[in-house]
Chains A and B, each alone.
Chain A
Amino acid sequence: GQNIDQPTEMTATEGAIVQINCTYQTSGFNGLFWYQQHAGEAPTFLSYNVLDGLEEKGRFSSFLSRSKGYSYLLLKELQMKDSASYLCAVILEHTGANNLFFGTGTRLTVIP
């Protein structure tokens, strides 16, 4: 089976930096996605990593180590609107399609 782990909840202060970790054990790997999901809404795409290393996109960066089965999402200069769930998802080739398997998500609360 597939196993993707993230912390359930995190709290951080406005203006600070927060790192959300994700570890995975999956059969097959075609890349890892990070999505942001506000309560009651659909996930929105943040980043995609398939090679080892850091991908930077504005205030958000994502890191991947395939050998360690590990990724993190780094959020800088936190804003109140960053309060949301952050979903780590591994893409697997499965029955001919490229399927996403999601972790449980990390609920981030940004406080003043």
Chain B
Amino acid sequence: GAVVSQHPSWVICKSGTSVKIECRSLDFQATTMFWYRQFPKQSLMLMATSNEGSKATYEQGVEKDKFLINHASLTLSTLTVTSAHPEDSSFYICSAQSAGLTQYFGPGTRLLVL
């Protein structure tokens, strides 16, 4: 149980394009989903928290107009990196949380912006 999927697992795109990443909880309903970013040899940094049907809460320093989050249902959240630039290249990981405090992580999406 508690499986979280992400799609795609790998994205290579040109600078200026937008990229959408999906996060799904496969066997449970996630009241809250989280988006993290991880640069090489660094730990996970929380970008934003989203609850189904409401606006995401962004961490300080994360541009909400650049990283659009939609949490349309209890099993799906999407992160759209708009007008991506090379400095946005990173490993993006989502997690999902249901009734308890444990967060279950997706397999991550590696984004490379050329």
> In the complex, are the beta carbons of B103 and A100 less than 8 A apart?
yes
> How far is A33 from B104 in the complex, measured between Cα atoms in Å?
12
> In the complex, are the beta carbons of A100 and B46 less than 8 A apart?
yes
> In the complex, are the beta carbons of A95 and B49 less than 8 A apart?
yes
- The answer to whether A41 and B44 touch (CB under 8 A), given A31-B101, A98-B97, A100-B34, is no
Tell me the interface secondary structure of chain A in the complex.
strand
Scoring A residues 88 to 111 as 1 if CB is less than 8 Å from chain B, else 0, what string do you get? 000100111111111111000000
Q: Does A60 contact B (CB under 8 A)?
A: no
> How far is A31 from B101 in the complex, measured between Cα atoms in Å?
9
Closest to B4 in A: A42
Closest to A85 in B: B43
Binds B, one of A11-19, A43-51, A72-80: A43-51
Q: Does A87 contact B (CB under 8 A)?
A: yes
> How far is the CB of A104 from the nearest CB of chain B, in Å?
5
Tell me the interface secondary structure of chain B in the complex.
strand
Query: Size band of the B side of the interface?
Result: 20 to 34
> How far is the CB of A5 from the nearest CB of chain B, in Å?
11
> In the complex, are the beta carbons of A97 and B46 less than 8 A apart?
no
Contacts of B91 in A (CB 8 A): 40
Closest to B6 in A: A42
Contacts of A97 in B (CB 8 A): 32, 49, 51, 57
> How far is A41 from B105 in the complex, measured between Cα atoms in Å?
10
Residue from the list A41, A96, A105 in contact with B108, Cβ < 8 A: A41
Scoring B residues 56 to 74 as 1 if CB is less than 8 Å from chain A, else 0, what string do you get? 0100000000000000000
24 residue pairs of the A-B complex, CB under 8 angstroms, read A30-B101, A40-B108, A42-B93, A42-B105, A42-B107, A42-B108, A43-B44, A44-B105, A48-B101, A87-B43, A91-B101, A94-B49, A95-B49, A95-B57, A97-B49, A97-B57, A98-B32, A98-B97, A98-B101, A99-B34, A100-B44, A100-B103, A104-B43, A105-B43
Q: A40-B110, A94-B49 are in contact. List 9 more A-B contacts (CB 8 A).
A: A35-B105, A41-B107, A42-B108, A96-B57, A97-B32, A97-B49, A99-B46, A102-B44, A104-B42
